[in-house]
Amino acid sequence: MSKTKGEIVSAAFRKATISGITSQPTGDELAGAVETLEDMMRELESKNACLPYNYEDEPCLSSESNIPQQWYHAVQSRLAVLLCSDYGIQPSQTLTGQARQAWTSMIGKLTKPKQIGQTRRMPRGSGNTFRAPLWVRYYQSETKAPINCDTIRIKVGETYPLDVSFDGWLADGETIQSYAITENSGGVTITQDQLSEDLQAVEIVAQGKSAGAGFIVVSITTTLQRSYPEKVWFEVSEV
């Protein structure tokens, strides 16, 4: 179980005491601080630094943050610096240095690097012994998953439960009537699937079967006879 958002905020306020925030935060100030935390984590996601953070439209102090333990210090220190700014206080050099070092290190380890593959116009080189057909002498295109936090990364043999939700697309009172799942030839297979209890999502369990990138498409038909497909990308790596 991870720290709650309230615990993350309280720890940030404690770190900020060395910069001059010594008063006990009020309820409104705690609410403002958790909003700052939410904005900070969304900014982090925009850099493709992927954490399983529990994003909320209306963040609550009692909600689980889902931040892994090894990144508590980085998140709390960075939040403390932002809180000093909200209070109009110059953060201390000690706090600023700690926050910068921890935050930069975390982003460096979490960010998914972009990879550039060989183009179809590039020959494989003199070491290639293939002579026919002609296309074998050139690099072929490779399926790659998008470099963002929506791509699910698992290992061969690992199972991953996932809710493919359509609640942001469904109209008021509209629910899923039926669904179909199409598997790409990538490295995942679906072992279980069912409709959610509220009929607004498809609950699936995916398993990594071979290294590589691939996707599934969950297509639904609703009670209003509307159809919508949702693509989910996976990147499977060796154990």
Choice between 25 and 72, residue whose per-residue pLDDT is larger: 72
Is 5-110's fold the same as 142-237's?
Answer: no
Average pLDDT over residues 170-183: 94
The pLDDT-based confidence of 183 (bands split at 50, 70, 90) is confident
Residue 135: the pLDDT is: 46
pLDDT digits (tens, 9 = 90+) for 129-161: 555 454 455 555 555 666 667 788 889 999 999
Q: Are 161 and 213 in contact (CB under 8 A)?
A: no
Q: Are 92 and 19 in contact (CB under 8 A)?
A: yes
**Domain residue ranges in the chain:** 5-110, 142-237
Which top CATH class is 142-237? mainly beta
pLDDT digits (tens, 9 = 90+) for 97-112: 999 999 999 998 888 6
* Mean pLDDT score of the chain: 85
CA–CA dist 217, 61 (Å, integer): 35
Average pLDDT over residues 9-30: 85
Cut 0.85: pTM above it: no
Backbone angles phi, psi at 53, to 5 degrees: -65, 145
Q: Which two tokens stand for residue 160?
A: 């991953």
Q: CATH assignment of 5-110?
A: 1.10.3230.20
Helix (H) and strand (E) counts in the chain: 4, 7
* Choice among 12-21, 49-58, 99-108 with the minimum mean pLDDT: 12-21
